[in-house]
Amino acid sequence: MSFNDRTPTGRHFVQSAEKTLAVLLAFTAESPRLSVTEVAEATRLTRAAARRFLLTLVDLGYLRADGALYSLTPRVLDIGAGFLAGLDLPKVAQPHLNRLANELDESATLSILDSDDVVYIARAAAPRLHAVTVNLGNRLPAWATSMGRMLIAELPESFQEEFLNRVEITPFTDHTVSSASELGAELSRIRRQGWCLVSQELDDGLRGLAVPVRRGQNTLAALNVSLHTSHLRGLSVEDDLVPRLQAVAAAIADDFGGRSEPGSESTASLQ
């Protein structure tokens, strides 16, 4: 969504701040190097305005210019560094993710919900993928992932309805859900069973299994493992893997500060 698609409601709203962020967010994993014209199109700015924002961000050290193309610099990590540094949950979860990845020889991830996306806050790559770079902060559409669906299923029904009313289903594979109503039925099933399996909907040959990490009645995050059929070694998802993930999720919650008794008023947060 472009900043022009939003309608500011407060007199406090500073459009230049929103435009600056829009320019930064135009750079993605799919489009790491952009021209002035491409940034203008992505943000709906004029070329002149886009150029001014780009040059300002270059002066501030958040972008670098290489001829006619611009790209992010490592300094952009400073924007999220304070948030990530304040998260105790990833630090607590990391040893558990490392053990789980080693036991299953599959990648294990901890994610949170941010608007309509899931964001990786901790991850352990499968041992066989030791050379693969793991990028914390990566975002994926929540509706298409096991961890995203798990987290959405944990939300109150009113929030789920709002999500289903605005979600845009994009087919990634032939197995992807085809409509919001089909997704809604899947969310209801996930809520009832307490875990989520997404099979080859985001990528052919890949399945994702997720369970919630709960502290009392609050869902802190989703724990996920990526499953490749050639590495399951005869393990049953429901009988073997789900209980294992649920045990790890409970251990993470315990280490994070203990799980409240059912019915208690918990004010747990990620900080």
pLDDT digits (tens, 9 = 90+) for 103-142: 988 899 999 998 888 999 999 988 765 544 556 778 888 8
For residue 252, the Cα-to-chain-centroid distance in whole angstroms is: 19
268 located within any domain: no
Q: Indicate whether 7 pLDDT > 70.
A: no
Q: Which of 75, 95, 116 is the last residue of a domain?
A: 75
Domain holding 179, by residue range, is 86-257
pLDDT interval class at 234 (50, 70, 90)? low
Tell whether 200 is covered by a domain.
yes
- Asked if the structure places residue 121 within a domain, the reply is yes
As for how many domains the chain has, the answer is 2
CA angle in degrees (0–180, nearest 5) for 162-168-170: 150
- Where residue 231 falls among pLDDT bands split at 50, 70, 90? low
Please tell me whether residues 136 and 171 are part of one structural domain: yes
Looking at the structure, do residues 18 and 142 belong to the same domain, yes or no?
A: no
Q: Does residue 146 share a domain with residue 250?
A: yes
Separation between Cα atoms, residue 113 and residue 220, nearest integer Å: 9
Q: Which of 18, 53, 75 is the last residue of a domain?
A: 75
Residues 103, 59: one domain? no
Whether the model clears a pTM of 0.75, i.e. scores above it, the answer is no
**Cβ contact 51:36 at 8 Å:** yes
Asked whether residue 221 is domain-assigned, the answer is yes
Give pLDDT, residue 229: 63
Q: Are residues 71 and 158 in the same domain?
A: no
pLDDT at residue 265, as a whole number: 36
- The answer to whether residue 81 sits within a structural domain is no
Report, as an integer, the average pLDDT of 86-108: 89
